[in-house]
Amino acid sequence: MRFTRTTQVAALAAAGMLALSACSESSTSNNSASGSAAPTNIDCASGTLSAEGSSAQNNAMTEWIKQYQTACPDATVNYNPTGSGAGVQQFIAGQVDFAGSDSALKADEGEVEGAKQRCGGNEAWNLPMVVGPISVAYNVEGVDQLVLDAATTAQIFSGSIKKWNDPAIGALNEGVTLPDAAITVFYRSDESGTTENFTKYLAAAAPKDWTKEPAKIWTGTGEGKEKSTGVQQATLQQANSITYVEWSYAKDAALGIAAVDNGSGPVTLDATTAGKALEEAKVVGQGNNLELDLNSAYTTTANDVYPIVLVTYEIACSKGLDSTQSALVKSFLTYTASEEGQSLLEGLGYGPLPSSVDKKVQTSVAALQ
């Protein structure tokens, strides 16, 4: 049985509360890369850099900031993981120097134009920096391994499948004793890029079962919890529950992580299977604006590709910041896109950018003015 010891739950819940009280969603990870040597080949800048946005990349940001500030003691970098929507809003309002977002700026919502105005009439670029697999994380009594496909996942999160021993789940899990228990679904109640990417996957891979438009605001069934730590802790403490959350948060809480059947057998989530998903992505942005289309990953039938992934973009002014802030943004993002910066990600529960994508990101960062 999973998570029945009160002491384990209490300790992890307390850890979550401490993280929140410190205004940080950084997980208490056993996968920390904190033992890594400080980077040695950085063109440091000085001053204070402020950024805000995606909670999905917060564990990566925490480690990157630590390493960067060790190498560059005259620089201070602050990152507030308030969620993608809030980060974009704060960037457009000129309150932060760059934003982290799990979706690219949207023209039809006024974000592209708003960002252009914030950048003094210059373009803001979407720079992919973190591959964040989205786990379908669960806490089901007596179940240590679970397989789901897109259709069954969509039916669970839309509310049409209500019990764990539903025949559709049973057909994918032969030999597993599924409890005759109601499914408790937890979802992100805040405006979330993780929600948007998860619903993009459901809409692309299971269009008959998920008919709603993908969005940062949840439109399925369940009980809402704020931020990644909120759904992580709720699932940890509630038996027979399920959620969608970044891989690093599921790993840190030792939640079950469902394998995904794309039609050719179950695919277990790891850095390799998630990284292969991004290799199928297409760059749809122009020039140094590197917006990616992940639909080919969502709809793959390959037996070695984990399809539910998101990419966190750093959204930065191509030019238009004052010289001090521009130098800080360029210096810090040069490090995060570097081989040294990307090499830290797997140990933190992320996937590094494929080299073909990373080279384009490095070129774009070098062009920031």
Question: What is the enclosing helix (H) or strand (E) of 129?
Answer: strand 124-139
Least reliable range by pLDDT among 23-32, 189-198, 305-314: 23-32
Asked if residue 362 is part of any domain, the answer here is: no
pLDDT of residue 263 exceeding 50: yes
Asked if residue 258 is part of any domain, the answer here is: yes
Tens digits of residue pLDDT in 211-234: 999 999 999 999 999 999 999 999
Cα(202)–Cα(193) distance, rounded to whole angstroms?
Answer: 14
pLDDT of residue 329 exceeding 90: yes
Mean pLDDT of 227-246: 96
Asked if residue 353 is part of any domain, the answer here is: no
pLDDT of residue 256 exceeding 90: yes
Asked if residue 16 is part of any domain, the answer here is: no
Asked if residue 290 is part of any domain, the answer here is: no
* Average pLDDT score over the chain: 89
Please, what's the b/e burial string for 333-357 (b: 16 or more CB within 10 A of its CB; e: otherwise)?
Answer: bbbbbbebbbebbbbbbbbbbbeeb
Q: What is the pLDDT of residue 11?
A: 36
Mean pLDDT of 230-242: 98
Asked if residue 194 is part of any domain, the answer here is: yes
Least reliable range by pLDDT among 24-38, 124-138, 152-166, 236-250: 24-38
**For the chain, how many structural domains are there in total?**
1
Helix axes 323-337, 58-71, angle to 10 degrees: 110
Asked if residue 357 is part of any domain, the answer here is: no
Note whether 3 and 139 are within 8 A (CB): yes
Please identify which residue in the block is written with the tokens 């619903």. 199
Tens digits of residue pLDDT in 13-64: 333 333 333 333 444 444 445 455 567 689 999 999 999 999 889 999 999 9
Mean pLDDT of 178-184: 98
CATH number at residue 158: 3.40.190.10
Q: Which range marks the domain in which residue 214 is found? A: 134-274
Mean pLDDT of 62-88: 96
Count Cβ atoms within 10 A of the Cβ of residue 2 and give its class: 0-12 exposed, 13-18 middle, 19 or more buried: middle
Q: What is the pLDDT of residue 36?
A: 58
Asked if residue 149 is part of any domain, the answer here is: yes
Instruction: State the SS3 of 221-276.
Output: CCEEECHHHHHHHHHHHCCCEEEEEEHHHHHHCCCEECEEECCCCEECCCHHHHHH
**Dihedral (C-alpha) 255, 4, 16, 198: value to the nearest 10 degrees?**
30
